[in-house]
Structure 1
Amino acid sequence: MRQFIRHPVSVPIEVKTDRHEPQRAVHTHDISLGGLAFVADEPQAPGAELGLRIGCVQPPFEARARVVWCRPHAANGSAEAYELGVAFLDPQDVFLARMVEQICYIEDYRREVLRCEGRELTSEEAAFEWIDRYAADFPVQRHMPMH
């Protein structure tokens, strides 16, 4: 049974394994109060630690996470893909990831307003509108159980 409600969001992230490979760019699949899920081109064993970096915010969000699960993912095309679920190692990173998630929703809102209404908003204007319209529906972070 899933412990946390997941929220779909597509955020570009970089993933670094402990094998000293270059970071690979992927997109998150969803974010929850405990971690996030993303599609990668290589499987990772549960328990493996990864470095995560989200560079679309300033300062960039960086965190360490542990792979909780890994399963084959039906990808477009013939390339193999794997969906990974990871849990943040530092409880503070959960809070920061939620802030990044909100920023991404606000930027998506800004682009959607431009596309649908032709209104060009600054990031600050979009934040005020998004908060006024949607912040009440954004799930509140609850106390996380310690493992």
Structure 2
Amino acid sequence: MRRFLRHSSNLPVELRLRRHLPSASQRLDNISLGGAACHSNHPLPQGTPVVLHIPVLGEQIACHGQVAWCAQQSESYLLGVTFSEQTPELRAHMVEQVCNLEHYRRHRELQAGQALPLELVAKEWREQRLAIFSPSRP
């Protein structure tokens, strides 16, 4: 039985080897409080330290971790990343933001009756969040 509930997602992510430039954009497969799985064009050995960053969240939300497993798929790899070093609150915040953005994307696509560009939806979502949390001006 899994320790943490997984949340499906298809957001673009950057999986950075620590102290290196970001890798090419990958796609998130799922995320939980304990870690994430993402698709990659390249395998990484178990134990490789990485930083998982989700650019469309519009913040510098990133989680340090290490590769827990790597499974070859037809033309790519699925990497399991175990989060480390962050407090449970920071990991929960990252998972919550991914879930909220995915929920908003589904809502907007239902309204529009078609798939919408993720960058457009993410920009709307960030702007709405800023408006909600901005201090009122007289």
Q: Structure 1 segments of 4 or more deviating over 4 A?
A: none
- Structure 2 unpaired stretches of 5+: 115-120, 130-138
- What is the aligned residue count? 117
In the TM superposition, residue 7 of structure 1 has moved relative to its aligned partner by 1.9
Q: After superposition, what is the alpha-carbon deviation per residue over 1:38-69, rounded to whole angstroms, capped at 9, x for unaligned?
A: 01111111111101211111323112111111
Whole-angstrom CA distance in 2 between matches of 1:111 and 1:74: 32
Superposed, 1:1-147 pairs within 5 Å as 1-18=1-18, 20-75=20-75, 81-89=76-84, 90=86, 91-116=88-113, 123=125, 124=128
Shift in CA distance, 108/74, structure 1 to aligned 2, threshold 3 Å: same
In the TM superposition, residue 18 of structure 1 has moved relative to its aligned partner by 3.5
In the TM superposition, residue 113 of structure 1 has moved relative to its aligned partner by 2.5
Q: Give the root-mean-square deviation of aligned CA atoms.
A: 2.5
Q: What letter is aligned with 1:93?
A: L
Whole-angstrom CA distance in 2 between matches of 1:58 and 1:49: 23
In the TM superposition, residue 100 of structure 1 has moved relative to its aligned partner by 1.8
The TM-score normalised by the length of structure 1 is: 0.67
The TM-score normalised by the length of structure 2 is: 0.71
Tell whether the 8 Å contact from 1:11 to 1:104 is kept in structure 2 after alignment.
no
In the TM superposition, residue 29 of structure 1 has moved relative to its aligned partner by 0.4
Whole-angstrom CA distance in 2 between matches of 1:101 and 1:70: 22
